[in-house]
């Protein structure tokens, strides 16, 4: 991973992942093990997201006045 970049929308950078690897390693491995044991039946959950529109300014009136996040 490039330094200072987050690989996903959670905002966790490569520096964070490296610094906290001893703490988060088991959780990450457990998540991948669960996906593996489900034999592909859980992959649709990876593609689901809840979208929310955040106003960029207080008087937002058009769609371009909002920023989507998931």
Split at pLDDT 50, 70, 90, the class of 30 is very high
Q: Is the pLDDT of residue 51 over 90?
A: no
Measured distance CA(9)–CA(24) in Å, rounded: 17
Q: What is the pLDDT of residue 34?
A: 83
Q: Contact, 69 vs 55, CB < 8 A?
A: no
Q: Is the pLDDT of residue 42 over 70?
A: no
Q: What is the pLDDT of residue 40?
A: 67
pLDDT, greater one: 50 or 28: 28
Q: Contact, 18 vs 4, CB < 8 A?
A: no
Sign of the CA dihedral running 46, 52, 57, 61: positive
Q: What is the pLDDT of residue 3?
A: 80
Measured distance CA(50)–CA(21) in Å, rounded: 28
What are the domain boundaries of the chain?
14-69
């Amino acid at each position: 991973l490039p330094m200072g970049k987050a690989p996903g929308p959670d905002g966790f950078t490569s520096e964070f992942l490296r610094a906290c690897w001893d703490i988060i390693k088991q959780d990450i491995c457990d998540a991948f093990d669960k996906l593996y044991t489900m034999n592909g039946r859980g992959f649709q959950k990876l593609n689901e997201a809840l979208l929310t529109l955040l106003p960029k300014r207080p008087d937002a009136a058009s769609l371009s006045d909002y920023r989507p996040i998931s």
